[in-house]
Amino acid sequence: MIDAPPHAELSDQAAYAAAVQLAADAAAAYYGQGDSPLDDDAYDQLVRGIAAYEREHPEQVLPASPTGKVAGGAVVGDVPHTVPMLSLDNVFGPEDLADWAASLERRLGRTVTAWSVEPKLDGLAISARYRGGRLVQLVTRGDGSAGEDVSHAIGTVVGLPDRLADPVTVELRGEVMMTTEQFEQACAKRQAHDGSTFANPRSAAAGTLRAQDRPYVCELTFFGYGALPGPDDDSEPAARLRELPHSEIMTWVAGQGVQTTAATPVAGVVATSLEQVQERVEQIAAERAELPFGIDGIVIKCDLAADQEKAGFSSRAPRWAIAYKLPAVEKITKLLGVEWNTGRTGVIAPRAVLEPVTLDGSIVTYATLHNVADITRRGLMLGDSVVVYKAGDVIPRVESPVVHLRTGGEQPIAFPEVCPSCGDAIDKSQERWRCVRGRACRAIASISYAVGRDQLDIEGLADNRIQQLLDAGLITDFADLFTVTREQLLGLERMGETSTDKLLAAIERAKDRPLSRVFCALGVRGTGRSMSRRIARHFGAMQAIRDADAEALQVVDGIGPEKAPLVVAELAELGELIDKLIAAGVNMTEPGAVTAVAGAAEPASAELPLAGMSVVVTGAMSGPLEALSRNEVNELIERAGGKASSSVSAKTSLLVAGDKAGAKRTKAEGLGVRIVAPDEFAQMVGRFL
């Protein structure tokens, strides 16, 4: 799945010494303030380069070398650990994993028949000490033998209760991290406080765990991955805990009221063969982009206490466990430039131009920057080293600048003074800057979108034709198309009778499109094709949508308290256009919808063939589906009672996979999702075609 990664090439002793220094600094920052000058990949490559050099020149190994040390030798803290808190060795692909397992089994002299497979949570290791069932101390990993007391964080960590279910004395080990939601909240709090943000959830968690006198409190999350009875505890429960397989220890931990991965979509499982381990690795990797928290790999452990005991430990890591690393989704690269573009709704959006970087298997050169306020909040500058994030289907985004990597040569980012498309003024009253001409600025783009195949589907209206109509003053928006006369069209250059009549017929047909498509054609900000279908289906008629206030709109799946007022405002702005469409006789109802106004009974949706199913379509459609666009197939899915989705996850019920289906098919196979060919699917939904 992943090739063995490259490592830094160190040519001589000076390069080696510089690399050791850089690694030591990075480790100190990573385990200290959590603001490393290197991303994980770059650090791993550096350490592998150091290790390779040391194998060739064992006589030159420097005492500060990070190899063979926990936490790269970064020493923090003075609370001794009862049992060392070690690190994990890494593998990077199936072959690596098989090699590691083979050497472990040779050492054990037997085959391992129970492997525990869990996500590798991307946070900070912590030891939570419970006495008589009460949480008494929290200690960081530090250098592995002693850590820092961070007990002040007790009470702010979700999943780590003050009291266990039983009055036991036990040390729980696990990862403290921020979920995506907690990270966003923490960034908002920090922004409100001093205008800055955190680089990523991991460093936010590191900083938060240590912060003692912040005027604001950020929440953290704990996931347990191990339990140790007190070293001198010779009670019966303690003895039992020492004997239990890892998987059963975790069940016990969860039973004590502590959060474990069992509470997540990537729960720890026991695999009985290496094939099963690999299968679960792929399932977890497939889930990664959808998880509400970061993982950077999968941890594979011998489940049985006897195997663990016999395998033992090296100075750095247990021999009975390994981290299977996943490709990085976050890297540091250079911000080379910022481009400004006016979209079809008139919004002026910045786009980051980056030094190309490989993220989650693809090369990223552009990333979203949201808006001016966001750039200012993050304090970004041209030439900055920036943290860029991309996973799965998400659009790459710039997270933050790495301020301490600045060279002094960085330049401020210039904001546009006029609309980059038409040169008119900019309305700066909202966070998202907009051309004062609004939709009219890029009329061609909004009309082209409205007449597109998935909206009004008016054939014969290529961009040059739309431009011609605009230039001739025959239209200013797409509603005007419905009142253009035959004579007006014939008066245009390159418009003969045949093409005119064809176009007029196509425009006439467009009047009968269902509301979902008419609504979508409006290009309401914050809504796309599937959201338009949900809105149309819910309200049934344009009037009902226009009558809805922000609260009423929130009943629609995907419209929250932020989006709802935006949709209301957009509909007000589009009022004139909608009135023109109504006057022109364009259909304003959704066939088969449960009209909220009429209060009709819900259709017997349970009887529909795809009731309750989440369906994803990928690859080329064939047979009866061949002529349908992806949007039309999605419409079909929804007519048949299903929910159309674009990405495969554990929630997917069915994947329709045509020819040349790629990553989605692999992912679905990994997750055990039912896969059908287009022909079989056409049979399932036959009567809705």
Q: Which of residues 146-185 bind ligand IVH (CB under 6 A)?
A: 175
Output the smallest distance, CB 653 to ligand IVH, in A.
29
Known binding residue 44? Answer is yes
120 catalytic, yes or no? yes
Q: What is the rounded CA–CA span in Å between residue 430 and residue 416?
A: 15
Q: What is the rounded CA–CA span in Å between residue 436 and residue 292?
A: 38
3-state secondary structure of 531: helix
- 535 residue type, one letter: I
Q: Which of 321, 588 has the CB closer to ligand IVH?
A: 321
> DSSP letter at 623?
G
Q: What is the rounded CA–CA span in Å between residue 332 and residue 30?
A: 14
Please say whether the beta carbons of 534 and 558 come within 8 A: yes
Known binding residue 175? Answer is yes
> DSSP letter at 603?
P
| Residue located via tokens 């409100």 | 192
Catalytic residue among 120, 331, 664, 667: 120
Q: What is the rounded CA–CA span in Å between residue 290 and residue 640?
A: 26
Sequence-ordered strand ranges (E) for 417-548: 426-427, 434-435
Q: What is the rounded CA–CA span in Å between residue 25 and residue 307?
A: 37
- Select the residue interacting with ligand IVH from 125, 266, 510, 578 (CB under 6 A): 125
Output the smallest distance, CB 87 to ligand IVH, in A.
5
From 349, 347, 330, 329, select the one nearest 339 (Cα to Cα). 349
* 340 bridge partner residues: 350
- Would you count residue 318 as binding ligand IVH (CB under 6 A)? yes
Known binding residue 441? Answer is yes
Q: Which of 87, 182 has the CB closer to ligand IVH?
A: 87
- Specify the DSSP element, H or E, that contains 124: strand 124-131
Q: What is the largest CA-CA distance in the chain?
A: 98
Q: Which of 223, 389 has the CB closer to ligand IVH?
A: 223
Q: Which of 313, 340 has the CB closer to ligand IVH?
A: 313
Complete edge-to-edge strand list for the sheet that includes strand 674-676:
643-645, 614-618, 654-657, 674-676
Known binding residue 422? Answer is yes
Q: What is the rounded CA–CA span in Å between residue 612 and residue 242?
A: 45
- Would you count residue 120 as binding ligand IVH (CB under 6 A)? yes
- Would you count residue 259 as binding ligand IVH (CB under 6 A)? no
- Would you count residue 299 as binding ligand IVH (CB under 6 A)? yes
Closest chain position to ligand IVH (CB): 125
- Would you count residue 323 as binding ligand IVH (CB under 6 A)? yes
Output the smallest distance, CB 403 to ligand IVH, in A.
26
Output the smallest distance, CB 280 to ligand IVH, in A.
13
Output the smallest distance, CB 225 to ligand IVH, in A.
4
Output the smallest distance, CB 226 to ligand IVH, in A.
6
* Choices 119-127, 200-208, 394-402, 444-452; region in contact with ligand IVH by CB under 6 A: 119-127
Q: Which of residues 33-92 bind ligand IVH (CB under 6 A)?
A: 86-88
- Kindly list the catalytic residues: 120
Annotated binding site for NAD(+): 40-44, 87-88, 118, 141, 175, 301, 325
Interface ranges with ligand IVH (CB under 6 A): 86-88, 118, 120-121, 125, 175, 225-226, 299, 318, 321, 323
